[in-house]
Amino acid sequence: MVQINENFLKLKAGYLFPEIARRVSEFSKGNPDADIIRLGIGDVTEPLPLAIVNAMHEAVDEMASRESFHGYGPEQGYSFLRDCIAKYDYQDRGVSVAADEIFVSDGSKCDSGNILDIFGPGNRIAITDPVYPVYVDTNVMAGHTGPADDDGRYGGLVYLPVTEENGFIPQLPSEPVDLIYLCYPNNPTGTVATRETLQQWVDYAKEYGSIILFDAAYEAYIADDDIPHSIYEISGAREVAVEFRSFSKNAGFTGTRCAFTVVPRDVTIPVGDEHVSLRELWNRRQCTKFNGASFVVQKGAAAAYSEEGRGQIRDLVNFYMTNARLLREGLQELGITVYGGENAPYVWLKTPNGLNSWDFFDVLLSKGHLVGTPGSGFGAAGEGYFRLSAFNSRENVEAALERFKLAVAGP
Amino acid sequence: MVQINENFLKLKAGYLFPEIARRVSEFSKGNPDADIIRLGIGDVTEPLPLAIVNAMHEAVDEMASRESFHGYGPEQGYSFLRDCIAKYDYQDRGVSVAADEIFVSDGSKCDSGNILDIFGPGNRIAITDPVYPVYVDTNVMAGHTGPADDDGRYGGLVYLPVTEENGFIPQLPSEPVDLIYLCYPNNPTGTVATRETLQQWVDYAKEYGSIILFDAAYEAYIADDDIPHSIYEISGAREVAVEFRSFSKNAGFTGTRCAFTVVPRDVTIPVGDEHVSLRELWNRRQCTKFNGASFVVQKGAAAAYSEEGRGQIRDLVNFYMTNARLLREGLQELGITVYGGENAPYVWLKTPNGLNSWDFFDVLLSKGHLVGTPGSGFGAAGEGYFRLSAFNSRENVEAALERFKLAVAGP
């Protein structure tokens, strides 16, 4: 008799975004004329940059002729893309990452889940709270946790709260942990980590033999000169860190699908008398369970590094960051306490009047026809907070602020 | 201290295709003028059908404008594609599969590996021998096997030999198994399964509570009217089978990347007093660890079902099948015993003069400047066999046959 992976049964049924969709759908049924503005899911809204569009058209034409057709590509990604990434994202910034340490994929969500394939079952996992739910759920599915308690916290995970009280800086764990998920600029709080904070984590990982899984999907939104763009700007990180990057939020690839993961050669793990290269393990995993990202998509991603492409992406990021600034300033004018939105496309606000996150969700939806994301959906320590995404049209952002006034000021 | 997944260390270092690449590279160095013809890896060579090229151009243009831009798509795939698959691949052939039982992905290799996420660690796994190596390696990585023996067979796996002696029909296992991998038309042997053979497997699975993982990536190559295209043509299969399909080998998507997996609602697994829906588990896995296939690629895949697209794909499949027939007949004329090549793009030949698979590889390479795949690379029972792929230009196939004559006739 076949057995299922019973760890799946530990997953909480009410996943965040389906629950949001359910409430919005119910509201829409009762209010069919309501023009709802969605600032919930962090999904881009603006078209692909022209340089990328042109490159993808050229790539499609290459596939239309026998002479230039491409079949299976390298599982690790094409050199034309890996070389661009190594140069523009790392080497030109003085960071040592080689092209063959870069693994191109179809998404950071996939990579950050799949990476668990190469780690053993006995690892102790640390995550911040609130956190991007995929880190938690993939560990639950892999059997690295016990069941969830009433707050939704899973047994065996080490939760590191990030709240107003600690300035959104997670404390080093009081007990040794083996895998540490860090996401900067942070989803959902929109906060960033200084060089000093990251150095502490790298030092910790070196001391305890831990691995840092560093999610830098929002790197393009860093505006402050002194905030690191990559974990590899930190001394020693090449020995202890894996970095995830994506074209989703800079080049608008949420529906086009391309990302990459960096696994430096310097990460080696002792097994008996040997040292096993983490890069070799990931390479083997990808060669066995992945067949490379689409050629057409990789050509589009490479165009993001052309001079034209880089300019267009800068404009795109600036556009969303102006949205973030408008949201941030507009909410502050209403007396709402806000975090993030300066080096990240998310604004993390304290719910006014001490409302809990879901109650505030309902108020915003019913009175403002606005959809955001309840902070408690990202973890117990997110209760009393609320996430707004800057991914929208200017018109919608401006309209949303007007509606906020009404919703918050109301009776 | 972090722990790696030590099951990876059980994987045999000399993976098939890298070893082929190494030998070819060494030969090329010594013979820089040799014009090598590759009939090894099963990778398509002809351009994408025009209907698909046009659809992908249109999709890229949609991504270039705010009004028609697509961000995150459904993790399960767009309805425009799932509906086509349900209608043309199943319902129009009288097979009951609903659109919401179809999960679109970026590749069958990924799906056939990732599916293990939803199964537990205690399952007993049956594979044919020879076999597509991904089934084996992903089970090794997941910890479902012991180490390999000298023949490369992993402890704990149930190997079902398919050779000339049993007419390439695997016997039902003598001990109960829980997960059964079947691939028809078969890679590497190019043989097919009759309705009666498949019915035996479905009946077995129903009796023992097993699940059949049915890989139908080469379905488009079935020419005989009485050979089933889908496991769901078999009575009872909707309760016990998962089916993998791909656009790689019919529409030429090896570099474009699109596939799908069917998990019927009728597959439920008892856990305690409950029955867990396998479809729900896979849906949860995909929603958590996958973000949908590229919009542009899905639009291309949907065009494969247009009237124009279906005609162009038929032509493409016929082109490769003519190659297969030429290889088959040409080798037979040389007195070589061949299997496959009638309902599959692979010809599986018995090595002449009792040579072992790798020795024959070396003879073909050195005397004919031809590359094929040694049968033993697919499993111990593949020793003494050799795979040729029909994915090539007509010119190369004809030249390859001439060279075969010289290589086989030589001293």
Q: Is residue B356 part of a domain?
A: yes
- How many Å lie between the alpha carbon of B371 and the closest alpha carbon of chain A? 17
Q: What is the DSSP string of B343-388?
A: SSSEEEEEPGGG--HHHHHHHIIIII-EE-EEGGGG-GGGTTEEEE
- How many Å lie between the alpha carbon of A154 and the closest alpha carbon of chain B? 17
Asked whether residue B389 falls in the same domain as residue B296, the answer is no
Residue type, B69: F
Asked whether residue A272 falls in the same domain as residue A189, the answer is yes
* B6, B65, B110 member nearest A47 (Cβ): B65
Whether residue A208 lies within 8 A of chain B, CB to CB, comes out as yes
For B:309-368, CB contacts with A below 8 A are none
Report the half-sphere exposure of A233 (CA within 13 A, side-chain side): 19
How many separate domains does chain A show? 2
Q: Is residue A363 part of a domain?
A: yes
**Are A198 and A216 within 8 A, CB to CB?**
no
* A232-265 residue pLDDT tens: 999 999 999 999 999 999 999 999 999 999 999 9
Asked whether residue A237 falls in the same domain as residue A259, the answer is yes
Asked whether residue A141 falls in the same domain as residue A180, the answer is yes
Query: Which chain B residues are Cβ-neighbours of A393 within 8 angstroms?
Result: 66
Q: Is residue B17 part of a domain?
A: yes
Q: Check: pTM over 0.90? Answer yes or no.
A: yes
* A60, A208, A256 member nearest B295 (Cβ): A256
Q: What is the mean pLDDT of chain A?
A: 96
Q: How far apart are CA A131 and CA A375, in angstroms?
A: 10
Q: How far apart are CA A407 and CA A322, in angstroms?
A: 23
**Are B124 and B178 within 8 A, CB to CB?**
yes
Tokens matching residue B409: 């006739």
Q: What is the pLDDT of residue B152?
A: 87
For B:288-307, CB contacts with A below 8 A are 288-297
**Given B307, B329, B363, which residue is the final one in a domain?**
B307
Domain housing A117: 51-306
Q: What is the pLDDT of residue A410?
A: 58
For A:10-69, CB contacts with B below 8 A are 11, 15, 41, 43-48, 50, 53, 56-57, 60-61, 63-66, 69
Q: How far is CA A359 from the centre of its chain?
A: 26
Which region among A177-191, A244-258, A386-400, B14-28 has the lowest average model confidence (pLDDT)? B14-28
The secondary structure element, H or E, covering residue B128 is strand B125-129
Q: Phi and psi at residue B244, in whole multiples of 5°?
A: -105, 130
ipTM (interface pTM):
0.97
Tokens matching residue B42: 């099963």
Are A1 and B292 within 8 A, CB to CB? no
Q: What is the mean pLDDT of residues A277-305?
A: 97
Asked whether residue B90 falls in the same domain as residue B125, the answer is yes
Asked whether residue B205 falls in the same domain as residue B81, the answer is yes
Are A289 and B179 within 8 A, CB to CB? no
Q: How far apart are CA B5 and CA B198, in angstroms?
A: 36
Asked whether residue B358 falls in the same domain as residue B301, the answer is no
Q: What is the mean pLDDT of residues B371-379?
A: 95
Task: Provide the number of CB pairs (under 8 Å) joining chain A to chain B.
Answer: 248
* B312-341 residue pLDDT tens: 999 999 999 999 999 999 999 999 999 999
Share of chain A above pLDDT 90, in %: 94
Q: How far apart are CA A10 and CA A242, in angstroms?
A: 27
The domain spanning residue B384 has which CATH number? 3.90.1150.10
Residue type, A157: L
* B90-107 residue pLDDT tens: 999 999 999 999 999 999
Query: Which chain B residues are Cβ-neighbours of A297 within 8 angstroms?
Result: 294, 296-297
Whether residue B1 lies within 8 A of chain A, CB to CB, comes out as yes
Whether residue A158 lies within 8 A of chain B, CB to CB, comes out as no
- How many Å lie between the alpha carbon of B55 and the closest alpha carbon of chain A? 10
Q: Is residue A264 part of a domain?
A: yes
Q: Is residue A1 part of a domain?
A: no
* A126-168 residue pLDDT tens: 999 999 999 999 999 999 999 999 888 999 999 999 999 999 9
**Given A278, A306, A334, which residue is the final one in a domain?**
A306
Asked whether residue B342 falls in the same domain as residue B264, the answer is no
Q: Is residue B297 part of a domain?
A: yes
Are A2 and B119 within 8 A, CB to CB? yes
Q: How far apart are CA B95 and CA B298, in angstroms?
A: 23
Q: How far apart are CA B239 and CA B180, in angstroms?
A: 14
Q: What is the pLDDT of residue A16?
A: 81
* B264-299 residue pLDDT tens: 999 999 999 999 999 999 999 999 999 999 999 999
Q: Give how far Cα B394 sits from Cα of A314, B153, B261, Å.
A: 48, 37, 32
* B345-365 residue pLDDT tens: 999 999 999 999 999 999 999
Asked whether residue B291 falls in the same domain as residue B342, the answer is no
Give the confidence band of B14 by pLDDT, cuts at 50, 70, 90: low
Asked whether residue B116 falls in the same domain as residue B259, the answer is yes
Q: Is residue B345 part of a domain?
A: yes
Give the confidence band of B410 by pLDDT, cuts at 50, 70, 90: low
Query: Which chain A residues are Cβ-neighbours of B206 within 8 angstroms?
Result: none
Q: What is the pLDDT of residue A17?
A: 80
Question: For chain A, what is the HEC assignment?
Answer: CCCECHHHHHCCCCCHHHHHHHHHHHHHHHCCCCCCEECCCCCCCCCCCHHHHHHHHHHHHHHCCCCCCCCCCCCCCCHHHHHHHHHHHHHHHCCCCCHHHEEEECCHHHHHHHHHHHECCCCCEEEEECCCHHHHHHHHHCCCCCCECCCCCECCCEEEECCHHHCCCCCCCCCCCCEEEEECCCCCCCCCCCHHHHHHHHHHHHHHCCEEEEECCCHHHCCCCCCCCCHHHCCCHHHCEEEEEECCCCCCCCCCCCEEEECCCCCEEEECCEEEEHHHHHHHHHHHHCCCCCHHHHHHHHHCCCHHHHHHHHHHHHHHHHHHHHHHHHHHHCCCCEEECCCCCEEEEECHHHCCHHHHHHHHHHHHCEECEEHHHHCHHHCCEEEEECCCCHHHHHHHHHHHHHHHHCC
Query: Which chain B residues are Cβ-neighbours of A6 within 8 angstroms?
Result: 120, 271
**Are A251 and A47 within 8 A, CB to CB?**
no
Q: What is the pLDDT of residue B28?
A: 95
Give the confidence band of A373 by pLDDT, cuts at 50, 70, 90: very high
* B56, B69, B295 member nearest A60 (Cβ): B56
Whether residue A72 lies within 8 A of chain B, CB to CB, comes out as yes
Asked whether residue B225 falls in the same domain as residue B276, the answer is yes
The domain spanning residue A292 has which CATH number? 3.40.640.10
Asked whether residue B92 falls in the same domain as residue B106, the answer is yes
Query: Which chain A residues are Cβ-neighbours of B254 within 8 angstroms?
Result: 71-72, 291
**Given A306, A336, A357, which residue is the final one in a domain?**
A306
**Are B381 and B163 within 8 A, CB to CB?**
yes
Q: Is residue B1 part of a domain?
A: no
Q: What is the mean pLDDT of residues A264-273?
A: 96
Task: For residue A111, give the chain B residue with the closest CA.
Answer: B289
* A78-126 residue pLDDT tens: 999 999 999 999 999 999 999 999 999 999 999 999 999 999 999 999 9
Share of chain B above pLDDT 90, in %: 94
